[in-house]
Amino acid sequence: MFDTHAHYDDALFDGDREYLLKDLFGAKGVTNIITVGCDIATSQKAISLSESYEQIYAAVGLHPHLAADAPSDYINQLEQLLRNEKVVAIGEIGLDFYYDEPPRELQRKVFSEQMRLAEKTGYPVIIHDRDAHAECIQAALAYPDVRGVFHSYSGSVESAKILMKAGWYISVSGVVTFKNAARLPEVVSIIDEDKLLVETDCPYLTPYPFRGKRNDSGRLVYTIEKIAQIRGCSVEHIESVTSANAKRLFRIM
Protein backbone atom coordinates (compact mmCIF):
# COMPACT_ATOMS: atom_id res chain seq x y z
CA MET A 1 0.00 0.00 0.00
CA PHE A 2 1.26 3.48 -0.95
CA ASP A 3 -0.09 6.22 1.35
CA THR A 4 0.19 9.37 -0.76
CA HIS A 5 -0.76 11.85 1.97
CA ALA A 6 0.19 11.72 5.65
CA HIS A 7 1.42 14.09 8.35
CA TYR A 8 3.90 12.12 10.45
CA ASP A 9 5.39 15.33 11.83
CA ASP A 10 2.17 15.81 13.83
CA ALA A 11 2.50 15.88 17.62
CA LEU A 12 -0.01 13.02 17.89
CA PHE A 13 2.81 10.73 16.74
CA ASP A 14 5.43 12.03 19.17
CA GLY A 15 4.99 9.18 21.63
CA ASP A 16 5.51 6.25 19.27
CA ARG A 17 6.51 7.56 15.82
CA GLU A 18 9.61 5.39 15.33
CA TYR A 19 7.95 2.20 16.57
CA LEU A 20 4.84 2.86 14.47
CA LEU A 21 6.72 3.50 11.24
CA LYS A 22 8.82 0.36 11.63
CA ASP A 23 5.64 -1.64 12.18
CA LEU A 24 3.94 -0.07 9.17
CA PHE A 25 6.80 -0.99 6.86
CA GLY A 26 6.92 -4.47 8.32
CA ALA A 27 3.80 -6.28 9.45
CA LYS A 28 1.22 -3.75 8.16
CA GLY A 29 2.09 -4.00 4.47
CA VAL A 30 2.79 -0.33 3.78
CA THR A 31 5.41 0.10 1.06
CA ASN A 32 5.69 3.89 0.75
CA ILE A 33 4.45 7.09 2.38
CA ILE A 34 4.50 10.72 1.34
CA THR A 35 4.57 12.92 4.43
CA VAL A 36 3.30 16.38 3.58
CA GLY A 37 4.33 19.80 4.84
CA CYS A 38 1.93 22.64 5.64
CA ASP A 39 4.47 25.45 6.16
CA ILE A 40 8.24 25.89 6.13
CA ALA A 41 8.77 24.25 9.53
CA THR A 42 6.64 21.18 8.85
CA SER A 43 8.10 20.89 5.35
CA GLN A 44 11.56 20.73 6.90
CA LYS A 45 10.31 18.06 9.33
CA ALA A 46 8.88 16.11 6.42
CA ILE A 47 12.26 16.13 4.73
CA SER A 48 13.98 15.04 7.94
CA LEU A 49 11.62 12.07 8.22
CA SER A 50 12.15 11.15 4.58
CA GLU A 51 15.91 11.14 5.12
CA SER A 52 15.51 8.75 8.04
CA TYR A 53 13.35 6.19 6.21
CA GLU A 54 14.02 4.92 2.71
CA GLN A 55 10.30 4.32 2.10
CA ILE A 56 9.19 7.85 3.05
CA TYR A 57 9.15 10.79 0.65
CA ALA A 58 8.36 14.44 1.37
CA ALA A 59 6.17 17.20 -0.04
CA VAL A 60 6.86 20.84 0.81
CA GLY A 61 4.38 23.70 0.66
CA LEU A 62 2.21 26.26 2.37
CA HIS A 63 -1.31 25.21 3.39
CA PRO A 64 -4.07 27.81 2.78
CA HIS A 65 -4.86 27.92 6.52
CA LEU A 66 -1.33 29.22 7.12
CA ALA A 67 -1.16 31.75 4.29
CA ALA A 68 -1.16 34.71 6.70
CA ASP A 69 1.90 33.37 8.50
CA ALA A 70 4.07 32.98 5.40
CA PRO A 71 7.48 34.68 5.58
CA SER A 72 8.08 37.17 2.81
CA ASP A 73 10.66 34.91 1.18
CA TYR A 74 8.72 31.67 1.55
CA ILE A 75 8.84 30.88 -2.18
CA ASN A 76 12.63 31.11 -2.14
CA GLN A 77 12.71 28.86 0.93
CA LEU A 78 10.45 26.30 -0.74
CA GLU A 79 12.61 26.37 -3.84
CA GLN A 80 15.64 25.58 -1.71
CA LEU A 81 13.79 22.67 -0.05
CA LEU A 82 12.88 21.27 -3.47
CA ARG A 83 16.55 20.56 -4.08
CA ASN A 84 16.46 17.69 -1.61
CA GLU A 85 16.35 14.39 -3.50
CA LYS A 86 13.59 12.97 -1.26
CA VAL A 87 11.16 15.80 -2.07
CA VAL A 88 8.67 14.68 -4.71
CA ALA A 89 5.93 17.34 -4.71
CA ILE A 90 4.82 20.84 -3.77
CA GLY A 91 2.04 20.59 -1.23
CA GLU A 92 -0.18 20.81 0.35
CA ILE A 93 -1.40 23.96 -1.33
CA GLY A 94 -4.80 25.22 -2.39
CA LEU A 95 -7.90 26.99 -1.12
CA ASP A 96 -10.06 26.47 1.97
CA PHE A 97 -13.18 28.64 2.23
CA TYR A 98 -14.81 26.67 5.06
CA TYR A 99 -13.80 29.16 7.78
CA ASP A 100 -13.11 32.16 5.48
CA GLU A 101 -9.80 32.65 7.27
CA PRO A 102 -7.26 33.72 6.18
CA PRO A 103 -8.91 36.13 3.73
CA ARG A 104 -9.73 34.56 0.39
CA GLU A 105 -7.65 37.03 -1.59
CA LEU A 106 -4.56 36.12 0.42
CA GLN A 107 -5.24 32.41 -0.08
CA ARG A 108 -5.57 32.97 -3.82
CA LYS A 109 -2.29 34.89 -3.94
CA VAL A 110 -0.33 32.22 -2.06
CA PHE A 111 -1.91 29.43 -4.11
CA SER A 112 -1.04 31.08 -7.42
CA GLU A 113 2.52 31.80 -6.30
CA GLN A 114 3.04 28.13 -5.49
CA MET A 115 1.44 27.02 -8.76
CA ARG A 116 3.91 29.26 -10.58
CA LEU A 117 6.71 27.61 -8.60
CA ALA A 118 5.45 24.23 -9.76
CA GLU A 119 5.30 25.49 -13.33
CA LYS A 120 8.88 26.74 -13.04
CA THR A 121 10.34 23.64 -11.39
CA GLY A 122 8.26 20.86 -12.95
CA TYR A 123 7.17 19.34 -9.64
CA PRO A 124 3.67 17.89 -9.25
CA VAL A 125 1.37 19.54 -6.73
CA ILE A 126 -0.88 18.25 -3.95
CA ILE A 127 -4.08 20.30 -3.85
CA HIS A 128 -6.13 20.99 -0.71
CA ASP A 129 -9.66 21.94 -1.78
CA ARG A 130 -12.36 22.59 0.80
CA ASP A 131 -15.54 24.43 -0.11
CA ALA A 132 -13.69 25.98 -3.05
CA HIS A 133 -14.17 23.40 -5.81
CA ALA A 134 -14.85 25.71 -8.75
CA GLU A 135 -11.95 28.03 -7.95
CA CYS A 136 -9.50 25.21 -7.29
CA ILE A 137 -10.31 23.55 -10.59
CA GLN A 138 -10.06 26.87 -12.42
CA ALA A 139 -6.68 27.51 -10.81
CA ALA A 140 -5.42 24.03 -11.69
CA LEU A 141 -6.48 24.33 -15.33
CA ALA A 142 -4.92 27.81 -15.57
CA TYR A 143 -1.50 26.13 -15.44
CA PRO A 144 -1.68 23.54 -18.24
CA ASP A 145 1.92 22.43 -17.70
CA VAL A 146 1.31 21.61 -14.01
CA ARG A 147 -0.03 18.23 -12.93
CA GLY A 148 -0.86 16.80 -9.55
CA VAL A 149 -3.54 15.39 -7.32
CA PHE A 150 -6.65 16.69 -5.58
CA HIS A 151 -6.15 15.13 -2.17
CA SER A 152 -9.05 13.68 -0.16
CA TYR A 153 -11.33 14.51 -3.05
CA SER A 154 -14.73 15.90 -2.08
CA GLY A 155 -16.04 17.30 -5.34
CA SER A 156 -18.62 16.08 -7.83
CA VAL A 157 -18.49 13.41 -10.52
CA GLU A 158 -18.57 16.14 -13.17
CA SER A 159 -15.60 17.98 -11.62
CA ALA A 160 -13.63 14.74 -11.33
CA LYS A 161 -14.17 14.06 -15.03
CA ILE A 162 -12.94 17.56 -15.92
CA LEU A 163 -9.79 17.09 -13.84
CA MET A 164 -9.00 13.63 -15.17
CA LYS A 165 -9.45 14.77 -18.77
CA ALA A 166 -6.80 17.43 -18.05
CA GLY A 167 -4.42 14.81 -16.63
CA TRP A 168 -5.03 15.29 -12.91
CA TYR A 169 -5.21 12.52 -10.31
CA ILE A 170 -7.94 11.96 -7.72
CA SER A 171 -7.01 10.73 -4.23
CA VAL A 172 -9.48 8.93 -1.99
CA SER A 173 -9.21 9.00 1.81
CA GLY A 174 -11.00 7.22 4.65
CA VAL A 175 -13.98 9.53 4.10
CA VAL A 176 -15.22 6.98 1.53
CA THR A 177 -15.99 4.62 4.44
CA PHE A 178 -18.17 7.17 6.26
CA LYS A 179 -21.88 6.51 6.26
CA ASN A 180 -22.57 10.16 5.34
CA ALA A 181 -20.20 10.15 2.34
CA ALA A 182 -23.15 10.61 0.00
CA ARG A 183 -21.56 11.29 -3.38
CA LEU A 184 -18.00 10.03 -2.92
CA PRO A 185 -18.83 6.38 -3.68
CA GLU A 186 -20.25 7.48 -7.04
CA VAL A 187 -17.06 9.43 -7.75
CA VAL A 188 -14.95 6.40 -6.80
CA SER A 189 -16.90 4.25 -9.23
CA ILE A 190 -15.97 6.46 -12.24
CA ILE A 191 -12.35 7.41 -11.51
CA ASP A 192 -10.11 6.32 -14.35
CA GLU A 193 -7.95 3.44 -13.17
CA ASP A 194 -4.74 5.28 -14.09
CA LYS A 195 -5.78 8.40 -12.13
CA LEU A 196 -6.74 6.77 -8.79
CA LEU A 197 -4.67 7.34 -5.64
CA VAL A 198 -5.29 6.48 -1.98
CA GLU A 199 -4.30 8.23 1.23
CA THR A 200 -4.92 8.47 4.95
CA ASP A 201 -4.29 12.18 5.70
CA CYS A 202 -3.27 10.73 9.05
CA PRO A 203 -3.56 11.40 11.91
CA TYR A 204 -6.88 12.73 10.57
CA LEU A 205 -9.84 11.24 8.62
CA THR A 206 -9.70 7.86 10.33
CA PRO A 207 -11.82 5.34 8.42
CA TYR A 208 -14.78 3.44 9.81
CA PRO A 209 -14.84 1.54 12.17
CA PHE A 210 -12.10 3.52 13.94
CA ARG A 211 -13.52 7.05 13.66
CA GLY A 212 -12.50 9.18 16.63
CA LYS A 213 -9.14 7.44 17.00
CA ARG A 214 -5.75 8.47 15.63
CA ASN A 215 -5.30 7.46 12.03
CA ASP A 216 -2.16 5.88 10.57
CA SER A 217 -1.09 4.33 7.27
CA GLY A 218 -1.92 0.82 8.45
CA ARG A 219 -5.60 1.75 8.29
CA LEU A 220 -5.32 2.54 4.60
CA VAL A 221 -6.47 -1.04 4.03
CA TYR A 222 -10.02 -0.10 5.09
CA THR A 223 -10.16 2.62 2.45
CA ILE A 224 -8.79 0.24 -0.17
CA GLU A 225 -11.31 -2.45 0.78
CA LYS A 226 -14.17 0.02 0.35
CA ILE A 227 -12.85 1.18 -3.02
CA ALA A 228 -12.51 -2.43 -4.18
CA GLN A 229 -16.07 -3.13 -3.08
CA ILE A 230 -17.42 -0.10 -4.96
CA ARG A 231 -15.46 -0.90 -8.13
CA GLY A 232 -16.10 -4.64 -8.03
CA CYS A 233 -12.49 -5.77 -8.01
CA SER A 234 -9.96 -7.24 -5.61
CA VAL A 235 -8.13 -5.44 -2.84
CA GLU A 236 -4.86 -6.60 -4.39
CA HIS A 237 -5.79 -4.95 -7.68
CA ILE A 238 -6.46 -1.57 -6.03
CA GLU A 239 -3.21 -1.84 -4.05
CA SER A 240 -1.26 -2.56 -7.25
CA VAL A 241 -2.92 0.12 -9.37
CA THR A 242 -2.73 2.91 -6.80
CA SER A 243 0.91 2.16 -5.96
CA ALA A 244 1.87 2.24 -9.65
CA ASN A 245 -0.05 5.49 -10.17
CA ALA A 246 1.66 7.13 -7.18
CA LYS A 247 5.10 6.16 -8.41
CA ARG A 248 4.31 7.52 -11.86
CA LEU A 249 2.92 10.86 -10.66
CA PHE A 250 5.65 11.48 -8.11
CA ARG A 251 8.42 10.05 -10.33
CA ILE A 252 9.55 7.41 -7.86
CA MET A 253 11.52 4.54 -9.37
pLDDT for the residue numbered 197: 98
Percent of the chain residues topping a pLDDT of 70: 100
pLDDT for the residue numbered 182: 83
Tens digits of residue pLDDT in 170-201: 999 999 999 988 899 999 999 999 999 999 99
pTM of the model: 0.97
pLDDT for the residue numbered 251: 97
> Does residue 68 have a pLDDT over 90?
yes
Residue range 46-57: mean pLDDT, rounded: 98
Question: Where do the structural domains in the chain lie, given as residue ranges?
Answer: 2-249
* Superfamily of 2-249 according to CATH: Metal-dependent hydrolases (3.20.20.140)
48-57 contact pairs (CB < 8 A, 24+) = 49/8, 49/9, 50/84, 50/86, 50/87, 51/84, 51/86, 53/21, 53/25, 55/25, 55/30, 55/31, 56/8, 56/21, 56/32, 56/86, 57/32, 57/33, 57/86, 57/87, 57/88, 57/250, 57/252
**What is the average pLDDT score of the chain?**
97
